Structure 1
């Protein structure tokens, strides 16, 4: 074998060392390593096929060359190419899904939605909607309403509830004595009970969707009137 190539068969056909290095997964020089690093799977596949045909045409019938390693590596190249094509298809599908989600999100502009939050607004004897998200069914659910000083204004007993979102709308705000509390922003906390044990309960606040924005991960998000931005998947309910 010379520095520039290898002779196959009795006819003297020469195959370049670069092709052999590509087949064997080795590198004879930094230049060939750099070249193979930028070679596509399709180019490698064509190179292997050319080398295989040349080898078969020029091999000694009494001492045939071992092509098992070559064909094995060719199969690996086909696998890599297939994965590359699959990744391209999945990327295209993801782009289409993101575009569809953005269109769906745009339909929510102007709507009131429930998302993670703990504020309830009282104005002129009416309260904004709110809700609670439960990971499990509870035997009793209570919502505590507190003023800006952290004092409990009222406790709402919602009784037994199933797992999921429990919306609360149309509540007439009153304090523990039955009087209408002053206008302002109040804080809610939720307490769920399962057989006497405390259960996970997440409070939800209502707000109007003002616009659709792109989140850092590329997915659509909703800009709410309360100043928060939530992912489309963060909307628990549309009111």
Structure 2
């Protein structure tokens, strides 16, 4: 009686050779081949595994193997890219960067540079500087501003024109379109003291004691 498809002897020898050749591959490939060989060894001679089914299973194994290799190559590429970014970011050490922040430090005889960022155009923008007690010492009415960053400087004087004590101050920003508040924030300068890489990417350690990501940097001095 003639039997069509893959017979037990031919299937075992062919897939046995594949299993032997895949011994140096991943565990998933080896398990797949062993299962396929076992399937052929125990198939019903009167209803053998046909060529199309065998080809389909081998194609599935090849697809899984290709995806694993692609993932491995991609992870390797990401690791190399991360190392390259760390080396490039190291050039920022000792430089001053403009990043989101609201803390200002006033020292006698030195103007304090900072900036504001409008995430969209505003009809009006008001900047307020407060002392440690929360009292307003200086206000800046910037009027209408387009989207983007505007650099500013505070000379250490109050709204009445008198010099305020050295120390820590905070700056806040309020932007409006008509009567509606819109997104805006303050930016301050800080020196980069070191660079590190973590699960979230490249991190800049700042002289202020805070950290910033590369995406936070608006300006480099």
Aligned to 1:91: 75
Deviation (angstroms), 1:138: 1.2
Q: Partner residue of 2:202?
A: 220
Alignment check: 8 A CA contact 1:118 1:188 kept: yes
The answer as to whether partners of 2:98 and 2:187 remain within 8 angstroms in 1 is yes
Q: Does the Cα contact within 8 Å between 2:12 and 2:37 map onto a contact in 1?
A: no
Work out the CA distance in 1 between the residues paired with 2:9 and 2:184. 80
- Pick the aligned partner of 1:174 from 157, 178, 186: 157
CA distance 1:76–1:13, shift in 2 (3 Å): closer
Query: Do the aligned residues in 2 keep the contact of 1:139 with 1:159 (CA within 8 Å)?
Result: yes
Show structure 1 runs of 5+ residues with no match. 1-7, 23-37
Aligned residues: 204
Partner of residue 12, structure 2: 15
Q: Is the 8 A contact 2:113 2:188 kept in 1?
A: yes
Corresponding residue for residue 104 of structure 2: 120
Q: Which residue is 2:63 aligned to?
A: 79
Q: Is the 8 A contact 1:105 1:221 kept in 2?
A: no
| 1:45-84 mapped onto 2 (5 Å cutoff) | 65-84=49-68
How far, CA to CA, are the matches of 1:134 and 1:95 in structure 2?
35
Output the CA distance in 2 between the equivalents of 1:64 and 1:149: 86
In the TM superposition, what whole-angstrom CA distance separates every residue of 1:57-109 from its partner, at most 9, and x where no partner exists? Answer: xxx9xx87522222112221121112112111211211121112112211111
Gap runs ≥5 in structure 2: 1-5, 20-25
CA gap of 1:125–1:49, structure 2 versus 1, over 3 A, is same
Give me the TM-score of the superposition, normalised by structure 1. Answer: 0.72
How far, CA to CA, are the matches of 1:233 and 1:109 in structure 2? 16
CA distance in 2 between partners of 1:155 and 1:112 (Å): 25
Moved over 4 A (4+): 11-14, 43-51
Give RMSD over aligned pairs.
3.3
1:195 aligns with 2:189: no
TM-score by length of 2: 0.78
